[in-house]
Amino acid sequence: LRNGYPEVIYCEDKTTDEIKGIVEKMMERNQNILATRADEEVYEALKELTDDLEYYERARIVVIQKEEIELSESKILVMTGGTSDLEVAEEAAITAEVMGNTVERAYDVGVAGIHRLLAQKDKMAEANVIITVAGMEGALASVVSGLTDKPIVAVPTSVGYGANFDGLAALLAMLNSCASGLGVVNIDNGFGAAYLADSIINQIEAARE
C-alpha cells in the first residue's frame, strides 16, 4: 500500500520450505521483507536466497532490505517492565523501524522500582506514541498512562506462571486500566503493537506535510 513499506510474512505455523517459497516470490517485487517469528533455521534458509538480510535473534525477525528506509520525524517509544519482556519488545521495535519509524527504547523500567520509571519522563515527552510491553500483572501500562497523555499501545506478555494463565492476568489488567488512553493488542503481539503505532505515526507525518 504505502511506499517503501515492507511485505510481511508470519513464520509461526509454516514449514521452512513454505516460508522460503513465499519469500522467493516476494523478492521478485523488490520490496523490503519482514519475516516475524523466524527461528535460526528459517534464517539459514533465507540466507540461501540473498545476502541483503539481517537476523534479529531476540526479536525473532529476519529483515531483507531492498529499498532505503526513510525514518519518520515522529517517534515511537517502546517500554518494558522487565528483562523477560525483551523478545516481545524487540519484535515491536524492529517491526516499527522497518516500517520507517524512529524508535526509542526504555527497557526494564517496571513499577516495582517506580523511580526508574519516573526517570523516563523526558523520553515520554518526546514520543508521539508509546508502546508498553509488560507481563505478570501488567501494571506498567496504567502507570505510564497516568504520567502522559500520549496514545499508548499496551502489549501484555505471557511472562509469568501460575495464576498468570499465560498472559491473561496482564491482558485483563490492561483492559481494565484506571488510566484511559490505552489500546490493547493480543498477548505477545509485538508486531501488532508496532503496526498500530505505525498507523498512528502515518497520520501524524501526513499532517506535518
Ligand X SMILES: Nc1ncnc2c1ncn2[C@@H]1O[C@H](COP(=O)(O)O)[C@@H](O)[C@H]1O
Q: Which residues bind ligand X (CB under 6 A)?
A: 8-10, 36-37, 82-83, 180, 189, 191-192
Amino acid at 44: E
| H/E element, 156 | strand 152-156
Q: Can you tell me which of 61, 89, 169, 190 binds its own copies, judged by CB under 8 A?
A: 169
Q: Cβ distance 81 to 110 under 8 Å?
A: yes
Choose among Mg ion, ligand X, its own copies, none what residue 9 binds, the Cβ cut-off being 5 to 8 Å by kind: ligand X
**Rounded Cα gap, residues 152 and 13, in angstroms:** 29
Residue 30 burial (CB < 10 Å; 0-12/13-18/19+)?
Answer: exposed
Nearer of residues 35 and 200 to its own copies, judged by Cβ:
200
Query: Taking CB under 5 A as the rule, which mask of x and - marks residues 107-146 in contact with Mg ion?
Result: --------------------------------------x-
Instruction: Give, as ranges, the residues between 179 and 198 that touch Mg ion (CB under 5 A).
Output: 181
Smallest separation, CB 181 to Mg ion (Å): 4
Q: Measuring CA to CA, which residue among 132, 44, 142, 43 is closest to residue 93?
A: 132
All residues at 6 or more sequence positions from 39 whose CB lies less than 8 Å from its CB, including other chains: 11, 60
Instruction: Give, as ranges, the residues between 16 and 45 that touch Mg ion (CB under 5 A).
Output: none
Choose among its own copies, ligand X, Mg ion, none what residue 36 binds, the Cβ cut-off being 5 to 8 Å by kind: ligand X
